[in-house]
Amino acid sequence: MTMVEGEDRQQEDVREGEAAPVRLSRRRWAVLGVLGAASFFDGLDANIIAVALPSIQRELGGGFSMAQWAVAGYSLATAVLLITGGRLGDIYGTRRVFLIGIAGFTLSSAVVAAATTPELLVGGRVAQGAMVALMLPQSMAVVKQQFRPEEWAIASAITGLAISAGSIGGPVVGGFLTDLDLFGTGWRAIFWINVPIGAALLACAIRVLPEGRTEQRPTLDLPGAVLVASASLALMFPLVRGSEHGWAPWSFGLIALSLVLWLVLAAHQRHRSARGTDVLIPPALFRRRAFTAGLTAALFTFAGATSFTFLLTYYLQFGLAWSSTRTALAVAAVPLGIALVFQIAWKHGPARPRLFVTCGALTMLAGALCMVGLAAAGRTDFALLAAVAFLLGAGTGLTSPVLTAVLLNSLAPREAGAGAGVIYASTQFGSALGIGVIGAVFFGGLGGASAGAAAADGRTAALYGDALGTAVLCTAAVFALVAVVARALPRQGTEPTGDPVPL
């Protein structure tokens, strides 16, 4: 692969001692556009089905169990296969695996759209999640391998903003397309729309994505892949479904089993590494303080931010009986906050990771404490609730891109796919952990109150507010932990491991 002359080369021709401004070439912007679009559709499709479930149940039947699996199957498949999906990119090339992911996602969307039975719909959703597990790690691996270190923060900020926008816009787009009833397709339109867009994205990716294959190709550690999939499933299943079953004993049994499997996996990886055999997750990653601290901070950040957004959305829709559109407009302040701190984060954050992550964590903490105060006072003003969501977004925007830059700095090119899979898996585990545990606190505070009756009287709305305040105090504690963990991050940005492959 040859260097694109001109615009890229000019970035390096600066006077010694003078920092060059970060300017992405048109080729890099095109690559980033493809990665951002894929990230957006992951966030969108993870949430787009929620508001269409009643329509789906009326047409296909299947009951409440089908509705649960239509949502949970996607998340479970993604989390279970992320680490293996990342390693497959190291083995077969990030471009090839990314293209397979897009093509598979498009085809599985068509399967869901054309489903005639509940089983076919759930199977298609599981396939969608599996294909996302192939795409997502490749996005981060492409950033690591093909972009310069000073470009990592802007690239991760754009893809992170795309996921957030897709996640928040999912319910609105799903409701709009379902109500629009395009060509009489009803709820099926929310999946049919993925087909032409996915085909266009595939064509663009074929044209602009570089090969992204390392010189030394590792082999797949098949026993390790089975262990990591089993451990991930044993952890994620109770986190996703446990609260709906009252945290039955089997939930804690599966979590205990997952811990045992993770320990077995760690021993297996150390044994293979000592023999000089390729591993699924390089043990050396966790001996790097910046990587371990960054991974822990990312896990806590997503646990707090995802649960906060979930709680706020649920409170607005069911506690205050707001429409899905009004709720989405209020929660849209989250990506707005991310966007407004965007330039500050990518320009200055990677050079001062400890400072920026600490400031971001404290901003999210301030938002959580403000939400507790509003809930206690019974304030339901749109502007105030949107302002709280904005604080969450601003804190996330200061934290997430900088953590990504720190983590990418810790990876060698040969580890890009495996490392990206570990990073994305940790954010999935963090999100599931936050919603599972903090969500249980929230629903426990409701004491079985009916969501449908929330708008009928102020007492039920007050009950939702009290439950929200208690649960958000838990997210505040999580954000405080992020600030503590940030102390282990480098005070100043370090030199990257390995050189990026030029576009």
In a domain, 503, yes or no: no
Specify the pLDDT at position 169. 72
In a domain, 1, yes or no: no
Rounded Cα distance, 396 and 424, in Å: 16
Specify the pLDDT at position 328. 75
In a domain, 172, yes or no: yes
Return the closest-CA partner of residue 328 out of 156, 119, 168. Answer: 168
Q: Which amino acid is at 358?
A: T
Return the closest-CA partner of residue 229 out of 423, 80, 430. Answer: 80
Give the contacts of 481 (CB within 8 A, at least 6 positions apart): 300
Q: Which amino acid is at 150?
A: E
In a domain, 328, yes or no: yes
In a domain, 407, yes or no: yes
Rounded Cα distance, 309 and 431, in Å: 11
Is the pLDDT score of 119 beyond 50? yes
Query: Would residue 19 be called left, alpha or beta, if left means φ above 0 and alpha means ψ between -120 and 50 degrees?
Result: beta
Residues 237 and 205 in one domain: no
Which residue intervals of 315-352 are DSSP H helices? 324-331, 333-340, 342-348
Give the contacts of 126 (CB within 8 A, at least 6 positions apart): 73, 74, 76, 77
Q: Give the CA diameter of the chain.
A: 68
Rounded Cα distance, 294 and 399, in Å: 10
Residues 273 and 416 in one domain: no
pLDDT in tens, 278-331: 888 888 888 889 999 999 999 999 899 988 988 888 888 778 888 767 877 888
Number of domains within the chain: 3
User: Could you tell me the pLDDT band of residue 370, with boundaries at 50, 70 and 90?
Assistant: very high
Find tokens 């949107």 and name the residue.
386
Of 174, 193, 219, which residue constitutes the final position of a domain? 219
Rounded Cα distance, 150 and 153, in Å: 7
Specify the pLDDT at position 501. 41
In a domain, 396, yes or no: yes
Residues 241 and 104 in one domain: no
Q: Calculate mean pLDDT across residues 248-263.
A: 92
Of 262, 279, 296, which residue constitutes the final position of a domain? 279
Structure tokens, 323: 């429409």
The per-residue b/e assignment along 264-299, b for 16 or more CB within 10 angstroms, e otherwise, is ebeebbeebeeeeebbbbbeebeebebbbbbbbbbb
Q: State the virtual CA torsion across 31, 37, 40, 42 in degrees, nearest 10.
A: -90
Residues 301 and 372 in one domain: yes
Is the pLDDT score of 454 beyond 50? no
Secondary structure of residue 115 in the 3-state scheme = coil
Specify the pLDDT at position 212. 64
Secondary structure of residue 334 in the 3-state scheme = helix
pLDDT in tens, 185-241: 888 988 998 999 999 999 999 998 887 666 667 778 889 889 988 998 888 888 777
Of 261, 279, 297, which residue constitutes the final position of a domain? 279
Tally DSSP H helices, then E strands, for the chain: 19, 0
The per-residue b/e assignment along 139-166, b for 16 or more CB within 10 angstroms, e otherwise, is bbbbbbbbbbbbbbbbbbbbbbbbbbbb
Q: Calculate mean pLDDT across residues 127-131.
A: 93
In a domain, 3, yes or no: no
CATH code of 375's domain: 1.20.1250.20
Domain that holds residue 324: 282-498
Is the pLDDT score of 64 beyond 70? no
Q: Which amino acid is at 445?
A: G
CB 164 within 8 A of CB 338: yes
Name which residue leads in pLDDT, 249 or 43.
249
Specify the pLDDT at position 47. 73
Structure tokens, 48: 């787009």
pLDDT in tens, 387-400: 999 999 999 989 98
Rounded Cα distance, 183 and 150, in Å: 47
Rounded to the nearest angstrom, the gap between the alpha carbon of residue 74 and the centroid of all alpha carbons in its chain is: 13
Residues 193 and 72 in one domain: yes
Most confident segment among 59-68, 109-118, 179-188, 343-352: 109-118
pLDDT in tens, 4-45: 334 444 444 433 444 444 555 677 788 888 988 888 888 788
For the residues of 125-191, what is the DSSP string, one character each? Answer: HHHHHHHHHHHHHHHHHHHHHHS-GGGHHHHHHHHHHHHHHHHHHHHHHHHHHHHHTGGG-GGGHHH
Residues 138 and 241 in one domain: no
Return the closest-CA partner of residue 106 out of 183, 192, 173, 31. Answer: 192
> What is the DSSP secondary structure assignment for residue 315, as one 8-state letter?
I
Residues 207 and 233 in one domain: no
CB 240 within 8 A of CB 80: no
Rounded Cα distance, 445 and 449, in Å: 9
Give the contacts of 462 (CB within 8 A, at least 6 positions apart): 378
In a domain, 304, yes or no: yes
Specify the pLDDT at position 57. 79
User: Could you tell me the pLDDT band of residue 67, with boundaries at 50, 70 and 90?
Assistant: low
Residues 159 and 209 in one domain: yes
Give the contacts of 183 (CB within 8 A, at least 6 positions apart): 189
Residues 375 and 456 in one domain: yes
Residues 311 and 262 in one domain: no
Most confident segment among 157-161, 309-313, 482-486: 482-486
Is the pLDDT score of 116 beyond 80? yes
Rounded Cα distance, 98 and 71, in Å: 23
Query: Which pTM was predicted?
Result: 0.78
CB 337 within 8 A of CB 364: no
Residues 201 and 347 in one domain: no
Length of the chain: 503
Rounded Cα distance, 156 and 168, in Å: 18
Is the pLDDT score of 333 beyond 80? yes
Residue 171: count other Cβ atoms within 10 Å of its Cβ. 23
Residues 158 and 146 in one domain: yes
Cα end-to-end distance, the chain, whole Å: 7
